[in-house]
Structure formats: C-alpha cells, structure tokens
Amino acid sequence: MTSGFDWQVIVKNLPFLWTGMQTTLLLTVLAISGGIVGGTILALCRLSKFSVLSWFGGSYVNFFRSMPLILVIFWFYFLVPIVLGRPVGGFYSVLIAFILFEAAYYCEIIRAGIASVGRGQVYAAQAVGLNYFQIMRYIILPQAFRNMVPILLTQGIILFQDTSLVYVVGLHDFLVTADIVANRDVRLIEMYSTVAVVYFVMCLLGSLGVRRLQRKYAL
C-alpha cells in the first residue's frame, strides 16, 4: 500500500466511475418500475377473493422474502440463459432477478397501502355501480399510492443500495468500476472511501427528501 491519500486517482477516473453510476441508476430505475408493477399485481392477487390467487400471492412473497438477494441473483444468472437457450448478458439476468425479488417487497407495501383505504370507499363505489377494475383504477389505487409514496421511495433507496450486489456476477455498476480501478492502481482506500461517500450522500439526500415529502403530502 502506497501511503498518502491520492485525490488524483479519483479525479482521473471520474468518467469511468460515471459509466458505472449510469448502470447503477438505470438498473435502479428499471427495477423500481418493474417491482412496483409486479408488486401491485401481487398485492391484488393476495387481496383477491379467489383462494388460488391469494395463495399464489402469499407463497410468492414468503418464498422470495426468505431468500438472500445474492442467491436470487445467482439463480437467475444461471437460470435465464438455460431457459432461453442463449446467452442474454448479465444485465438482463440481474434485472429480472431484481424485479422478481423486489416485487415481493413492494407487494407488502402496496397491500398495506390498499388496506389503509377505508372500506366505506369500496361500498360507495359499488353503490354508484363501478365494477372491480374501475374501483381499483379510480378509487382505491390513487388513494393507496398517495399514502404509500414515502414508503415506496424508501424502499427505492434500499433497492439503490442493493444494486451494489451485482458485484457478485461482475456487472459493471458503480461499485465494480471503482473496484476495478482500486485493484488496477492499488488505491483501495481512495476508491472504496469514494464509493462509500457517494452512496452515503445520495442516500442521505434521498431519505431527507422523502421525509420532507411525507410532511407535505400526508393525507
């Protein structure tokens, strides 16, 4: 280990780190969107009056919640090429893993959000003659999402941190690009500290923003 904190190595590699950060952000945004869509469908399944659907929703959530994310990433990194019969690249395997994994967590948040909308709303909507999909689309989900925006965003911040786990399959995200520089230039301290500070600042700002939003939009 060469002594002295070398700022130069950070500045010099900023463009490379930025490419990694782009992958991280893209993965985060896609996984959040996919996770929320999947989570909504799962939540509707869990709350459905058809026992097959609610059983499926419940088992799905329990299954994914008892597995470590790393194992899920390994599973899909191995499974997706076999099922499709051709290599698809790490990004897509990992993205599928993240969406399916996060859907289980989003499902629980959305389920609680839907449950927080009063029963009276459903009865009123039924009384004016709306069908199930109309009730969900125009009455329940808009209110539910407003209630759960802060928790959804908090989960998004957790997901943003979790994307660093793609390290285990070597996808070039922010952490891996920093890791490459760290090992190439033997600047472990500089690079890992930079990564930590960047993540810390982004997540702290994110959670402060969520807290402000929470105060502003509370119903």
Partner 1 sequence: MQYNWNWSILLQEPYYGWIWSGFSWTLATGCAAWVIAISLGSVIGVMRTTQVPILRTIGTCYVELFRNIPLLVQMFLWYFVFPELLSKDAGMWVKREMPMPEYSTAVVCLGTYHASRVAEQVRAGIESIGQGQRYAGLAMGLTPVQVYRYVLLPVSYRIIVPPLTSDFLGIIKNSSLALTIGVLELTAQTRQIEEYTFQGFEAFTTATVLYIVVTAVVMAMMRVVEKKTAVPGMLSLEAK
| Residue with the two structure tokens 């125009």 | 138
In this chain, which of 196, 209, 212, 217 binds partner 1, going by CB under 8 A?
A: 196
Smallest gap from Cβ 201 to partner 1, in A, equals 8
Instruction: Tell me if 56 contacts partner 1 by CB under 8 A.
Output: no
Q: Which of 102, 91, 97 is nearest to 158 (CA)?
A: 102
> What is the x/- site pattern for partner 1, positions 59-98, by CB under 8 A?
----x-xxxxxxx--xx--xx--xx-x-------------
Number of residues near partner 1 (by CB under 8 A): 35
The tokens for 216 are: 């502003």
CB atoms within 10 A of CB 147: 19
Of 141 and 182, CB closest to partner 1: 182
CA atoms of 180 and 32, how far apart (whole Å)? 27
CA atoms of 24 and 91, how far apart (whole Å)? 10
In this chain, which of 16, 91, 145, 199 binds partner 1, going by CB under 8 A?
A: 199
The tokens for 82 are: 């076999």
CA atoms of 73 and 166, how far apart (whole Å)? 8
CA distances from 155 to 33, 109, 112, 169 (A): 12, 9, 14, 23
Of 13 and 141, CB closest to partner 1: 13
Site for partner 1 in 172-191 (CB under 8 A): 175, 179, 188-189
Of 37 and 196, CB closest to partner 1: 196
In this chain, which of 55, 200, 209, 217 binds partner 1, going by CB under 8 A?
A: 200
Instruction: Tell me if 132 contacts partner 1 by CB under 8 A.
Output: no
The tokens for 54 are: 């609610």
Q: Which of 197, 178, 200, 176 is nearest to 188 (CA)?
A: 178
Instruction: Tell me if 43 contacts partner 1 by CB under 8 A.
Output: no
Total H helices, total E strands in the chain: 10, 0
Smallest gap from Cβ 87 to partner 1, in A, equals 14
Site for partner 1 in 137-166 (CB under 8 A): 161-162, 164-165
Of 201 and 213, CB closest to partner 1: 201
Smallest gap from Cβ 137 to partner 1, in A, equals 29
